[in-house]
């Protein structure tokens, strides 16, 4: 997987064959923060600098930086799926929240 991580932030990396550079964007935040480099070592440095600059800019502007994710997930599913998941959690001796967290973690790799 083409992902870098630093200070709790992650970035998806792609290779731009036309310009022959690596391009990255911080994932999971509302702000658009990108960076690029022509080598892996420089890409890591550029990513660290982008995150640090983002955090410093937020501080200078007096606003909180967006956190990648809060850990709270709310979504709607088919009631039958909900019932089967709740039953599976109960049979595993876990709360639905614990069970779903484990299933999502496994699916996300």
Measured CA to CA in angstroms, residue 73 lies from 69, 70, 82 at distances of 9, 8, 15
Q: For residues 108 and 69, which has the higher predicted lDDT (pLDDT)?
A: 108
Q: pTM score > 0.85 for this model?
A: no
Determine the Cα–Cα distance for residues 56 and 70; give it in Å rounded to an integer.
Answer: 21
Determine the Cα–Cα distance for residues 1 and 41; give it in Å rounded to an integer.
Answer: 17
Q: Is residue 66 within 8 Å of residue 50, measured between CB atoms? A: no
Query: What are the tokens at 48?
Result: 């660290």
Average pLDDT, the chain: 91
pLDDT at 108 over 70: yes
């Amino acid at each position: 997987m083409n992902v870098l991580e630093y200070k709790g932030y992650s970035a998806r990396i792609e290779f731009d064959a036309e310009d022959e550079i690596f391009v990255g964007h911080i994932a999971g935040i509302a702000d658009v923060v990108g960076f690029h480099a022509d080598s892996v070592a420089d890409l890591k440095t550029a990513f660290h600098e982008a995150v640090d600059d983002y955090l410093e800019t937020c501080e200078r502007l007096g606003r909180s930086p967006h956190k990648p994710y809060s850990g709270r997930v709310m979504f709607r599913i088919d009631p039958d799926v909900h019932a089967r998941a709740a039953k599976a959690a109960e049979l595993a001796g876990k709360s639905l929240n614990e069970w779903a967290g484990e299933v999502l973690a496994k699916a996300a790799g």
